[in-house]
Structure 1
Amino acid sequence: MMENWRRVELVLTLLVCVLGCVNGATDPNDASALRVMFSSMNSPGQLTQWSANGDDPCGQNWKGITCSGSRVTEIKLPGLALSGSLGYQLDSLTAVMNLDLSNNNLAGALPYQLPPNLQRLNLANNKLSGGIPYSISLMRSLTYLNLGHNQLQSQLGDMFGQLTSLSTLDVSFNLLTGDLPESFSSLSSMKSMYLQSNQFTGAIDVLANLPLENLNVANNRFTGWIPSQLNSVNLQKDGNNWNSGPAPPPPPGTPPAHKGPSQKSGGNDSSSGSGAGGGSKKSGIGAGGIAGIIISIFLVGGIVAFFLVKRRSRRSSDIEKLDNQPLAPLSSTNDVPEMKSMQTSSAVNTKIFDTSASINLRPPPIDRHKSFDEEEFSPKPVVVKKPVTTPINVTSYSVADLQMATGSFSVDHLLGEGLFGRVYRAEFDDGKVVAVKKLDSATLPSDMSDDFTEIVASISLLHHPNVTELVGYCSEHGQHLLVYEFHKNGSLHDFLHLSDEYSKPLIWNSRVKIALGTARALEYLHEVCSPSIVHKNIKSANILLDTELNPHLSDSGLASCLPHADQVLNQNAGSGYGAPEVAMSGHYTLKSDVYSFGAVMLELLTGRKPFDSSRPRSEQSLVRWATPQLHDIDALSKMVDPELKGLYPVKSLSRFADVIALCVQPEPEFRPPMSEVVQALVRLVQRANMSKRTIGNEQGETPRAVNPDTQDYMS
């Protein structure tokens, strides 16, 4: 009997265990989708507990995963430097309401398979490309959609008709084109819309009656008039081609503009045309509207009749002339090459042409069967092709040459990767070493070789001791490569932030020397070059150091020449180098370069990265954390890079901090020009009172007193 009870007890225990395990396990579909996602993101080690074979994300507390029961409800993994793609099985995550993968390095196209019941989707600040999938149109619960700062292309599909809960939409800083979709007018809950820094065209009338509070349409190609309904909205609109002057009156019979019931007419006339304001979808046309339409019909009819009579009188003489001439010249061989070149160039529809050149297409042969003489009213200008400037003083390399010198662009030769492409070390048979930047196709499409030659020609004109010299280029087989002089000591970023047991930290002398040399490079670009060149990408990774630790500013002139460079650069928002006004407008200026230079100076002073997510929240943004302390000598001494071990002149440090404070002011108009920054740093060097305690050399010899006027700061 006792033995039977033990058996029953054992069975009950096993049953409880089984039920407990089943209850604690994650839904198999959810687990499978997360495993695929993990593999697609290259199995990142920073996702603790995640596994390509794991079956219980909820029970095992996978990083960033929130569950309710056995279902995954949230995936929040922002700012973890995740790469790869999103996977192809996310649509099985039917309980997920919040997906946040912002501020990572995810690439590839947005998958069609997204969690269908999302309320919040944030994929901002990645490298996603392609178009916006139509599956988003089915997410009726979506309230927040942020796809800003990516590389999304093509037009927005007309797919917003069912997204009536969406209150925030951000697709800013992409490469989106075309007119705004009509279904935008259905976004009845829309409060904040950010469309800036794309290539949208047409009017924005479709946004007129939305309940908007914030709207940013800056830096597109919009035309037409800004609807009066948007006057009360926090609107940013600069950088478009708005029509000037008063907007034309609406066509006869058009219902009055409205934003809601508060603007409804107080009368009871059922044919007033304000049905939408009163809650009805019907709209009538009043007597005035009918009269207007009748008058319009008569006017149009009269105009058409006039031109038909004119056409008949001219048609007979035109036909006589054509009948007396052979038709062959209209399609002669002289026309074929030009028309063929226009057809085979895929850049015709996408390239932004220089307005200083007269650009047009050759008029087609006359069609004798046309019912109207369109040629009379649309004169066609003559085709003028802009001559391509040949680069001077630089070597033209073949792809084969550069492949040989870089080991077929192998990882072993990779020096680094930036927003515009990867950089490789190339060594030729004669021992010459150069750095080769291979531009991404997204940065410069393969069919824009003429533009690339123009870019090379422009950059080849830049010559300054502190600007990295362009020595060659390659434009073959759709590849675009720039060949620069090579600097053995790598970048300032590597010196400051990559630990190496064999390398010694930069002493104070060298830091001031690097700041002064970089300032001189910017002074050259801003104030010597004509027209001025905005660098747009000042950061420590773009300051290269030679064997004597002289700085050389790389990528100079590149961002100002590349099409869509601003959109590409704005994907790096949040790096800590960008000026506040750039984050708002996406526009780069000479003063935004000054701000970025100030951030680099702070980097030199503190040894910290301009943005470091590993630090406490209040210290992550270097400029925000350091600026209030720059004029407090005690706080300043605590901010100094510990690697300096206190070996710096206090007065020199204080003056260095004063220059930084000027450069990183929030208001661009208060930042100094680079010539003044150079003068301030020169005075700092001249006044420096070096002592045995503060001066050493790069070889680690015993510190010694040095005359500041003979220091190598000035080299």
Structure 2
Amino acid sequence: MRGAVTLVCFLVASCVWVVHGATDPGDVSALNALFTDFESDSTLTKWVASGGDPCGDLWFGITCVGTFVTAIQLPNCGLSGKVHGSVLQQFLHVTVLDLSNNKFENDIPEHFPPNLIQLDLSNNKFQGNFPDQLMNIPSLTSIKLNNNKLDGTLNAQSFTTLVNVITLDLSTNKFSGTIPESIGDNMLSLKFLYLQNNKFSGVLPLSLANLVALQVFDVSNNKITGYLPPNFNPATFSYEGNDITLLAPPPPPFTAPPPLKSPNPSTPPNPNTTPNPNTSPNQNAPLASTKSSSSSLGVSKIAAILVVVFVALTAAAILVWFFLIRKVPERATEPLDVEANGHNHSGRFCIWCLPLFSSGKDDEKPAKVKVYEPDSMKEGMDSPKIKAQPPIKTLDIPPVYKGDDQIKTVEKVDTDKISAIAFSVAELQAATNSFSEENLVGAGSLGQVYRAELPDGRVLAVKKLDTKAASMVENENDFLSVVEGLTKPQHSNVTELLGYCVEHDQRLLVYKYMSRGTLHELLHGSANDKCLSWNMRVKIALGAARALEYLHEVCSPPVVHRNFKSSNILLDDEFIPHVSDCGLEALAPSVTERQVSAQRLGAYSPPEYTMSGTYTAKSDVYSFGVVMLELLTGRKPLDSSRPRSEQSLVRWATPQLHDIDALARMVDPALGGVYPAKSLSRLADVVALCVQPEPEFRPPMSEVVQSLVRLMQRATSGNRQTESKSDSLQGDTAHEPNE
């Protein structure tokens, strides 16, 4: 009887857990521990410190398959506190861990989920050494630890089992020592290896030549010396800030073989001399010595003669040049032939075309002459350096001769070095139903954007460029050079260029499709989705600010967006912002069309650009301030349906940003008065700085990011909603025209 009662109780308890709990208890306990360790929970909606149902209640940032947690994605959440490895290793089914762009400052965890595939702890302040325990997770394909405070040397053993890693990003830390050989020996799947902005020293390991799949390799700004390993040829290689030589040095010119010394019993042997194993004991030593000395003497004489001949010919060429350059004004208008006379078509003398050597026959046409490379002069002989005369500064430099019969004026872009996928027109036509209207999701000054679905189920966004609107897409090589530049920005808040198409006069760019559309559509669309809470708006502003900070202050060279607005901020399923059109300023109209460009920017255009055409990173800051005003008020930057004094959002809002009562009336009515009052005031302060008329008074984006991070942290005090504020908002908005 007692056993039957026990069985019934067990079954009832099991049914209760199945009905009310959809998450594995072990995962629940581990998430409770994480929540306790995190000091900022402003964005962790539905998280609790004890119990709960993460899968059933859809905890923020948690993805489940069945009853198990499989992904923890909490980027850009303003989180701080500690991350303990003892907690992380309890997630037995987690394959994705993303805690990037937060404020963690403790030592980097030693342990991680044992079946992890993607790890992203970038843009924090983690300290300590590279976590060697990662070698116990061979399933990893992506490791991103960049932009932290990690130091020490890399243990070669740590990389022996990471054979599936495609992306390894250790950039912008304080790692030192040499780059381990084991990376090239074992990580043969690597496509992206980022080691820049550290303190690595020594030479590049020869094993890097084994990484045949490598597309991007960046070791810039380290202390690496030596030469590039033989047969190492990644698609994109950045090495600035080191002492790396791309080509191994040639053997010294005119080097004679060392003379053979005759064995002399009276002369003590030189301890530094290595015996030649190929020398026969019966060889006539005096004869060999004589031959070697004669050979050495002959080579020395030849070298001396060549030096004298070279100096004489160079001096003669300079004298001829000096004589002819003084005659230029007298015959500047005569049409001269470049090949025959050594002049360019503008009538000015071209020293690069002057024949340095002649056959000696006056009736023969001088042969084409290659450009004489200064480096080869230095390698060939120790000739005296000859300084160019001042007039050479005014000469036009002609195309460089690459061969006797071939002239190459523009270096063709190597498509193998472009990491993006080259699509065919047929593929993209099929994916967009021949670019039908039903797949059109947006349009801008450079072209239209279409939704594309590939046969494998992937959904992409295809930007079809208008060759009449963009100034650099007609020439295929120019377009490919722009595409190569567009693939370089790598940031979680910047849209990544996945592919391109350059066939049949078509120019198309392919990006990942963002399901939530643009921020402009979300704020001002006809449906006007009301799901954007205050914290979500601040989170979107912070993500967009991080994107501009990356473009302005991390990219080398810096990238100025030039077209930052809410319609270029795309939102994914988690409302994470992705700034689009980064780097497309290369396709923008020329300087003579600034007025058209200013109209294209519209209300986002800063004063200095409208007046003088000057556009800098501080101009992007102004446009960012306008977007923050949109988030704060829910209004369009320019709205002709409103009274004249309220049509320009910046002009209407700026005088009220420091008036507490007016500021409360400005807040988007869609919020229903639910927002932290102090956060509102602090956000208004940031906006006021960004939309300053004078560019020099606007803050850099790094300061804006820090201000928004602090604002996110202080938002934990909770949202405020009072009856008086709600009544005030309703009373004020009742008199305003509908948008």
- TM interval, shorter chain, is 0.3 to 0.5
TM-score for the superposition, normalised by structure 1: 0.45
TM-score, normalised via structure 2 length? 0.43
